[in-house]
Structure 1
Amino acid sequence: MDAPAEPYPYASAEQVDPLVRRVLAHNPSAFTYTGTQSYIVGSGAEVAVIDPGPDEAEHIEALLATIGDARLVAICCTHTHRDHSPAAAPLSARTGAPIIGCAPLTMDDDGPRADAAFDASYRADRVLADGETVVGDGWTLVAVATPGHTSNHICLALPESGVLFTGDHVMGWSTSVVSPPDGDMTDYMASLQKLHDREDRIYFPAHGPAIEKPRQLVRGMIGHRRSREKQILKQIGEGHTRIAQMVPRMYKGVDERLWPAAGRSVLAHLIDLDRRGFVTPVGEEWLPAA
């Protein structure tokens, strides 16, 4: 999906639901779309911020202005890539609010990244397990564990509005990056199915537009990944057994600068196919399982 025409509404609050306002961070890129969208939940005396975004003064001031006289009772992060969580610490220092949400995770990837690296500074005052809640004035946030994009990724449901804040797990403008070793295709597919089985009304992702037909989109995403599996198995069957051979054939028409990132996705699929008994690695080759 092409990005909408500028100017984007940076450093200003948009009311996107009676209980939700959105503030867009000024960090657009090929992997963040127009930027990271932070959400302020609550319309009463207590509010929460979801995915506070990058540590940029303009964005933090915009969040504080949106919070206004309300008390910030929780700063929630869906995961710890650097376009999502670094503003949590300075926002906590300014307000005294606890950082609540995903677990800390810092690691080095073993290949070219297609998204932001991990935030080594992230510290959580409280880690939310699947189904645990954060409660404020007129609202409830419920953690939905969704590993795959990262092992520590969570979504947050707002049952009062039927909203699910999906972070990077489901986005309307692009599929999520799944890059080993932390990105895991087996977990990602299970997490997609988990969301498909829910009945959320609308998704608010960290990047891109709201998703108004969530189950339809998730069903399509599952189908897309299964189609990629079939492509990979077809490539192997034709004797293209190395990732470097598969990518140019599978991603014709895609900017070659994105091929290294595409290779990470292919690797994630191959690891999953190995676990399921379809392929086996032999050196740098991937062969049909015996």
Structure 2
Amino acid sequence: MAAVIPAVSRLSSRIIRILGCNPGPMTLQGTNTYLIGTGRNRILLDTGDKDIPEYQKHLSDVVSSEQVNIEHIVVTHWHHDHIGGVENIFGTIAKQPKIWKHLRDTSDSPDSDLPSTPLNWLSDGQEIKVEGATLKIHHTPGHTTDHVVLTLQEENILFSGDCILGEGTAVFEDLYTYMKSLNRILELNPSVIYPGHGNVVEDPMEKIQYYIAHRNQREEQILEALRNNADKQMNEMDLVKLIYKETPEHLWPAAAYNVNHHLTKLTKENKIKSISVDGESRWQIIPLHSNL
């Protein structure tokens, strides 16, 4: 059982964690938000869900007791449990902060996520500084297209958002880019990970390698099933029935969703091919001698 995360925790001289008070199956004990810096002006990383009075009170109490000002709000990605609290905080707990988020895509606009607050766009490699803290931005798409992780330069800490969690594995929109992001995080070689959900990860390299190995293992199972049925054109559920034999049948649709992400990635890598059969997508292994 995971250790209970307190509502407010001082993690270091530079970092205070404030729990979002929004527990659930996807958020675990809740969204971790972080107040970062040592001087009067601080950075708030993520803001939890919208309209959570308990979280707003905890954050307000910390700002008041520390006698600080939130100069920057940085949002790791657009999901409601990370960006939702911005409108509650802006102009109240944080008087006039600069709000930062990465673009989702080229057609992104501030109105799409924060219609009533000004928004600034993050860029890969950008640094945001306050007294005692320098946060470097790393664009790590996959969980979402706009997802970023941040490294605290002074302590070699990684704030991983939803790319890596304190417990369990993460979900993703695009496995191909997510795997690239995991390998990029591995290269950052952090000494500790402060995740968007769950407890602090004290063995970060082992955790990142586990995430990569877990996905690679599932991918190899899919490829093996397709190789063993090279004369067939298979859909997600065909593969689930072969690979997830120990999984209860009522969980097969969720497994099929997961398999689809792998199939999309393998198609991008030209390891398999997608075929439309009566309007349904099916997949088949590409022979090694093929030029496809």
TM-score over 0.5 (shorter chain): yes
Alignment partner, residue 66 of structure 1: 62
Alignment partner, residue 100 of structure 1: 100
Q: Contact (CA 8 Å) 1:143, 1:155: kept in 2 or not?
A: yes
Going from structure 1 to structure 2, the CA distance change for 1:253 and 1:17 (only over 3 Å counts) comes to farther
Shift of 1:210: 0.9
Shift of 1:26: 2.0
Alignment partner, residue 42 of structure 2: 47
| Structure 2 portions without partners, runs of 5+ | none
Alignment partner, residue 287 of structure 1: 284
1:153 to 134, 137, 147: 147
| 1:61-210 → structure 2 map (5 Å cutoff) | 61-68=57-64, 69-94=67-92, 95=94, 96-103=96-103, 120-121=113-114, 125-178=119-172, 183-210=173-200
Q: Contact (CA 8 Å) 1:47, 1:67: kept in 2 or not?
A: no
Going from structure 1 to structure 2, the CA distance change for 1:59 and 1:257 (only over 3 Å counts) comes to farther
Q: Contact (CA 8 Å) 2:176, 2:265: kept in 1 or not?
A: yes
Going from structure 1 to structure 2, the CA distance change for 1:19 and 1:259 (only over 3 Å counts) comes to farther
Structure 1 residues 65-122: Cα deviation after superposition (integer angstroms, max 9, x where no partner): 11222011111110011111110122112122121132357x9xxxxxxxxxxx8446
Structure 1 residues 16-70: Cα deviation after superposition (integer angstroms, max 9, x where no partner): 1221111112221111111111111123211111111101122122112112220
Shift of 1:250: 2.9
Q: Does 1:251 align with 2:251?
A: no
Task: Give the TM-score, by structure 2 length.
Answer: 0.85
User: Distance in 2 between the 1:73 and 1:135 partners?
Assistant: 10
Q: Secondary structure at the match of 1:225?
A: helix
Q: Please say which structure displays the higher CA radius of gyration.
A: 2
Going from structure 1 to structure 2, the CA distance change for 1:260 and 1:66 (only over 3 Å counts) comes to farther
Q: Contact (CA 8 Å) 2:3, 2:199: kept in 1 or not?
A: no
The one-letter code of the counterpart of 2:74 is C
Shift of 1:230: 0.6
The one-letter code of the counterpart of 1:137 is E
Q: Contact (CA 8 Å) 2:9, 2:16: kept in 1 or not?
A: yes
User: Distance in 1 between the 2:122 and 2:113 partners?
Assistant: 19
Shift of 1:139: 1.0
Shift of 1:4: 4.4
Going from structure 1 to structure 2, the CA distance change for 1:22 and 1:78 (only over 3 Å counts) comes to same
The one-letter code of the counterpart of 1:222 is I
The one-letter code of the counterpart of 1:263 is A
Q: Secondary structure at the match of 1:93?
A: coil
Structure 1 residues 173-202: Cα deviation after superposition (integer angstroms, max 9, x where no partner): 121112xxxx21111111111111112111
Q: Contact (CA 8 Å) 1:76, 1:100: kept in 2 or not?
A: yes
Shift of 1:263: 2.3
The one-letter code of the counterpart of 1:60 is Q
Q: Secondary structure at the match of 1:142?
A: strand
Alignment partner, residue 276 of structure 1: 269
Q: Secondary structure at the match of 2:11?
A: strand
User: Distance in 1 between the 2:248 and 2:27 partners?
Assistant: 17
Going from structure 1 to structure 2, the CA distance change for 1:34 and 1:129 (only over 3 Å counts) comes to same
Going from structure 1 to structure 2, the CA distance change for 1:200 and 1:270 (only over 3 Å counts) comes to same
Residues paired across the two proteins, number: 269
Q: Contact (CA 8 Å) 2:104, 2:145: kept in 1 or not?
A: no
Alignment partner, residue 15 of structure 1: 10
